[in-house]
Amino acid sequence: MFGTGLLKGLGVTLKHALETFEDDRESVPDRYKGSLDLGNNRKVIQQPIDQEGLLTIQYPEEKRLLPERFRYIPMLIWDSEKQEDRCTACGICAKVCPPQCIWIVRDSDENGKPVTRCSEFYIDAAVCMSCSFCVEFCPFDAIKMNHDYELAVYDRYPQLVYDMEELTVPLEYYAALWPTQYEEEQARRKEEEEQKRKQEEEKAARAAARQAAAAQKAEAGAGAPKRSAAELQALAKERAAQRQAQAQGQTAEGGGDDDAAAAKRARMEDLKRRAQERARQRKLESGNGSS
């Protein structure tokens, strides 16, 4: 019969409207369940997959909770445990980057010899295609994807060319954004370090043995014993143990050693503050640029 199709269609529309209406009349509508309230109408919403009715999120007051793997612009990791940049200026990320938007200048020591550290690290955020290849292929876990997507500015240059300072974030920031991956990575890094330590220990032991043998030879030659092989080996072990203790001490320090912890906290605060300042300035500059 003519018109049945239309009526059915209108029925579907009505059902949708009623669902939203019903949902909205509840004290907490479905789409706000489990969301994080930041006050002032600002919310971070995790939309349930079985959400019925209205699905709209009122950006910018309301935002989506981003999944851990969300990728936007890369960031460089400041390893707050070791108090150093993780990046070694190996340049792999710049090689694999499809639009070639990474630019690295390797640092050098006072003799002009290049060292494994970079003095400059730029990413052109206007060119970056958020592909995450740099992250995938960095062998040192030094570059990760940031979740900060509100980067709009009025001018492309220099606001959108991020330098090393703007890119660097403390490890804790990364750990908070990417908890699962961070855990896995830390476990893997620990294991690798453990292996490295073992290898070093063995090397030291071998070196000691060699030394001892040499010493023995020398002894045989000159007759002046310095240290026996056993003694040397014991010494090497002791040194290794010391190193390990030191390393552990460093990682365990956290709340223990006040000075170091305070310094670290200060450094982190400093990094954060600087990042905020830069962001403010960027906005300001770009505002000026347009006026």
Partner 1 sequence: MTEATAVMDAPAGELGLAPELADAVVDMWAEDTEKAYVIAPDRILEVLTHLRDGQGYDFLSNLTCVDYEGYGGKLRAGIDARLEVVYNLYSTRRGGGSIALHVRVPEDDTVPSATSVYPGANLQEREVYDLFGVKFDGHPNLRRILLWDGFHGHPMRKDWHEAYYEEDAKPFRSRHPKGEYEFHEDKVPWAKNTTYPAGWDPDSWQEAVAYVPVSQAPQHEDKPHLDTESIVVNLGPHHPSTHGVFRMLTRVEGETILALEPEMGYLHRNHEKIGERNTWLMNMPFTDRLDYLNSMSNNWAYALAVEKLADIEVPERAEYLRVIMAEFSRIVNHAWSIGFILNDLGALQTPALYAIEEREMILDLFEAVSGARMMCNYMRFGGVVRDLPEGWHEQAAYLANERLPRALDELDRLLTENEILMARGRGVGYLSVEDLISLSVSGPMIRAGGLPYDIRKAEPYGIYDRFDFDIPTLPNSDIYDRYYIRLLEARESVRILQQALRDIPEGEILGGRGGYTLRAPEGEVYGRLEAPKGELGFYLASDGKTQPWRYHVRSPSYINLNALGPMSVGYKVADAIVILGAIDIVLGEVDR
Given candidates 45, 75, 128, 208, which one binds ligand SF4 under the rule CB under 6 A?
Answer: 128
Instruction: Provide DSSP, 130-150.
Output: ---HHHHH-TTS-EEE-----
What does the buried/exposed string (b/e) look like for 195-211 if buried means 16 or more CB atoms within 10 Å of the residue's CB? eeeeeebeebeeebeeb
156 interacts with partner 1 by CB under 8 A? yes
Q: How far is CA 91 from the centre of its chain?
A: 18
Shortest Cβ distance from residue 127 to ligand SF4 (Å)?
7
172, containing H or E segment: helix 171-177
CA gyration radius for the chain? 29
32 interacts with ligand SF4 by CB under 6 A? no
90 is in the binding site of which of partner 1, ligand SF4, none (Cβ under 5 to 8 A by kind)?
Answer: ligand SF4
C-beta atoms surrounding 91 within 10 Å: 13
Residue type, 175: A
Q: How far is CA 23 from the centre of its chain?
A: 39
Shortest Cβ distance from residue 143 to partner 1 (Å)?
14
User: Site residues for partner 1, window 84-123 (CB under 8 A)?
Assistant: 94-98, 100-101, 103, 105, 122
93 is in the binding site of which of partner 1, ligand SF4, none (Cβ under 5 to 8 A by kind)?
Answer: ligand SF4
Q: What x/- string results for residues 51 through 90 when contact with ligand SF4 is judged by CB under 6 A? A: -----------------------x------------xxxx
105 is in the binding site of which of partner 1, ligand SF4, none (Cβ under 5 to 8 A by kind)?
Answer: partner 1
Stretch that binds partner 1, among 43-51, 204-212, 243-251, 274-282 (CB under 8 A): 43-51
Shortest Cβ distance from residue 88 to ligand SF4 (Å)?
5
Q: What x/- string results for residues 138 through 157 when contact with ligand SF4 is judged by CB under 6 A? A: x-x-xx--------------
Residue type, 17: A
What does the buried/exposed string (b/e) look like for 137-153 if buried means 16 or more CB atoms within 10 Å of the residue's CB? ebebbbbbbbbeeeeeb
Q: Are 143 and 87 in contact (CB under 8 A)?
A: yes
Shortest Cβ distance from residue 94 to partner 1 (Å)?
7
Angle of helix 229-253 versus helix 179-222 axis, rounded to 10:
160
Which residues contact residue 173 at a Cβ distance below 8 angstroms, ignoring those fewer than 6 apart? 75, 272
Residue type, 121: F
Size of the site for ligand SF4 (CB under 6 A): 26
Binding site for partner 1 (CB under 8 A): 2-6, 8-9, 11-13, 16, 47, 49-50, 55, 66-71, 94-98, 100-101, 103, 105, 122, 124, 129-133, 136-137, 145, 156-158, 161, 180
Binding site for ligand SF4 (CB under 6 A): 74, 87-93, 97-99, 101-102, 104, 123, 128-134, 138, 140, 142-143
